[in-house]
Amino acid sequence: MLGFLTLTAGAGLGGTFFFWTRERLALSERAAADARLKLLQAQIEPHFLFNTLANLQALIGSDPQRAQAMLGHLDGYLRATLASTRNDMSTLAEEFALLRGYLEILAIRMGPRLAYSLDLPPALAKAKLPPMLLQPLVENAIKHGLEPMVEGGTLRVAASAEDRQLVLLVEDSGPGFGAASTSGTGVGLLHVQERIAAVYGDAATVDIGESADGGVRITLRLPWQE
């Protein structure tokens, strides 16, 4: 009986230690993914801010009305970004508002070279997801896809629901993965994949392909949470 109790206690302690270790490992992986996200944000935001401030300086003298509009969009974007980084989860309404501020600034910078659409059904506005999950994908589409093209192009971000899954689409009409101008797009995409894996595990997927216009099409499928 004593040996049986000792064996049972040892098995229980071993199982507890195993699950504790696995949980700690999962938390460490999630923390590492969040740290990499913050590092990515720190790398991207100064480049975006410096370019925007340079455009503002030029517009103040030549087109004060456009400069005022850009400043308003920049203020809204920065407020939305700060709010997102303070929360573990965000809503689709908040994410799309952040993207709209970002794209409005770029629309002033690029002029008619950039056309975009944001399609968010009202029924999905409160769906939850990790904050700033779509931002790196949109930045990649602009920086490596549309901005290098003389004629520019179009960007589409859309949300839908299928079988209790949240389906998020980011696609552009750029030159696609085969063009030299898309070099470097893998960093932002890798961070998105790592964050999704850390938060959802195997319950979420990332599909990468070509859009109907020949550009890049990225589809995220996440568990629907409210």
pLDDT at 27: 65
Q: Which residue has the higher pLDDT, 155 or 175?
A: 155
pLDDT, mean of residues 31-58:
65
pTM (2 d.p.): 0.73
166 compared with 39, residue with greater pLDDT: 166
199 pLDDT exceeds 90?
A: no
Residues 6+ apart with CB under 8 A from 36: 191, 194
Spell out the alpha helix ranges (H) of the chain.
2-62, 64-85, 92-110, 135-140, 186-200
Would you state the pLDDT for residue 80? Answer: 72
Higher per-residue pLDDT: 171 or 5: 171
pLDDT at 225: 80
pLDDT-based confidence at residue 186 (cuts at 50, 70, 90): low
